[in-house]
A = this chain, B = another copy of it.
Amino acid sequence: MDRASSSTVARLSSYFRLLGELQGEGVETVSSKRLAERGAITSAQVRKDLSRFGNFGRRGLGYNVHRLRDEIGQILGLNRVWRVALVGAGNLGQALFSYEGFAKQGFPIEAVFDTDARKIGTSWKGLEVQSFANFAKVARKKPFNIVILAVPTEAAQKVANSVIAEGTSGILNFAATRLDVPPHVAVREVDLSIAMESLSFALSQ
């Protein structure tokens, strides 16, 4: 199977969420048409996305909600636990930590690191902010698969290099800079500047 495009993966995420809702409502079967409605895409798109990974549906009937959700969970790697650390305890980091979305989604933040002496040692919901100097020691025991980077732009690349050296291979980057990483490392940028400027652009048209 050749590599799935990032749009395909983003849509799988949406299907996964919608399937969870349907499951909660007790719906047992769903058609590609129904799955498509919510995301403003075509049913053919849904079927193409899914058929890339297997034949999950039944002709004439549709997809079994429970089974399809499980399959997509498998595909997205949500069946295992990922160790997640947050680096950067500034405003944004604090926000991301107190925002409970990550934990709810199954990615609880297990450790928080910063270099600012005023933050180190403070306790966040029972979790102590540690010196980033400790990162290697902690990670050596059990590497962090994913690091959420909420450090200033200038520091981002250096921090990324360090965490990658300690076994991290996924980075969620909130710094407004493109990280240069080895090929085995996956980076997803959350660039609020780009989002805001693209709104500004749209409003100017």
Contacts and interface: CB of A to CB of B under 8 A. Distances in A.
A155 to B, nearest CB: 15
Interface in A174-194: 176, 178, 186, 188, 190-194
A117 interface: no
A162 interface: no
Interface stretch (A7-15, A44-52, A133-141): A7-15
Interface in A81-136: 82, 91-92, 94-96, 98-102, 105, 107
Interface string A25-65: 00000000000001110000000000000000000000000
Given A95-B99, A193-B17, A9 B198 contact: yes
Contacts of A102: 192, 196
Interface size of A as a range: 35 or more
A76 B13 contact: no
B172 A186 contact: no
Contacts of A6: 198
A176 B171 CA distance: 20
Nearest to A190: B195
Given A17-B176, A95-B96, A98-B95, A196 B10 contact: no
3 closest A-B pairs by CB: A95-B95, A77-B204, A186-B202
27 contacts: A6-B198, A10-B194, A12-B201, A13-B194, A13-B198, A14-B178, A16-B197, A77-B200, A78-B197, A80-B204, A92-B101, A94-B98, A95-B95, A95-B99, A105-B196, A105-B197, A145-B203, A146-B203, A170-B199, A170-B202, A170-B203, A171-B199, A172-B199, A186-B198, A186-B202, A188-B195, A188-B196
